Homo-oligomer: A and B are copies of this chain.
Amino acid sequence: MTGLRERKKQRTRDSLIRVSHELFVDKGYDETTVDEIADAVDVSQRTFFRYFASKEAVAFALQDEVESQFIDAVADRPADEAPLRALRSALDANWSRIGDAIQEVVPISVHMRLSQVIETTPSLLAVQMRRASETEDRLVTVLATREGLDPREDPRPRVLVALFAGVMRAAGRQWSAGDDITVESQRRAVEQCMDLMGPVLSDDWSARPSRTES
């Protein structure tokens, strides 16, 4: 059983996340002040910074969990799966479970709209991409371990992860540019871009229509 102190802390933390995300979505990130967030949750600004190292950090608090979950899922894939296959499988397996942890803190709709805010706010986009590169590093380690390789000598894990991350980003851009802001459409965008990895590297681009038009 957790003590009162700990529960209180968790409540404060969740409130800071929820309130800040709502403000970001409503007024925009740059237009939201840390003081406003702190006031709305009724704590001091100083306390906010004891929970989150920066204003950016609170915006990515939930993505943290999503990413960790994905990494674990990759590590748990059977060892005989090819590397790229393992990544896609982990994606598939986690797809449904992703939303649950989020919904306990923030409505999914807010979370989805926050994704858009992140893509359209330069400072947040920058942080998101740096975070992505950190996730890449963790993935490289996991994959290299699976294949029994040393990532310092063999660049293949790093290259594969870079390609994978690139595709994920391309899918993210495509999704956030459209108007169907749902988990399903997100999933569809990812799968479509994944399927194009092979064809796109070939020399012949003539008359191969994308799936959206066929």
Q: Which residues of A contact B (CB under 8 A)?
A: 82-85, 122, 125-127, 129-130, 132-133, 147, 152-156, 158-167, 169-170, 173-174, 177, 192-193, 196-205, 208-210, 212-213
Residues from chain B with Cβ under 8 Å of A166 in the complex: 159, 162-166
Contact A169/B201 with A153-B210, A159-B196 known, Cβ cut-off 8 Å: no
Main secondary structure of the interface of A (DSSP, over half): helix
Q: Number of copies of this chain in the oligomer? A: 2
Smallest CB-CB A-B distances: 4 pairs: A166-B166, A162-B166, A129-B129, A126-B130
Identify 14 residue pairs between A and B in the complex whose beta-carbon atoms are under 8 Å apart, listed by A's number.
Answer: A85-B203, A125-B130, A129-B132, A155-B170, A155-B174, A155-B196, A155-B212, A156-B196, A156-B210, A158-B174, A158-B193, A159-B166, A159-B197, A159-B200
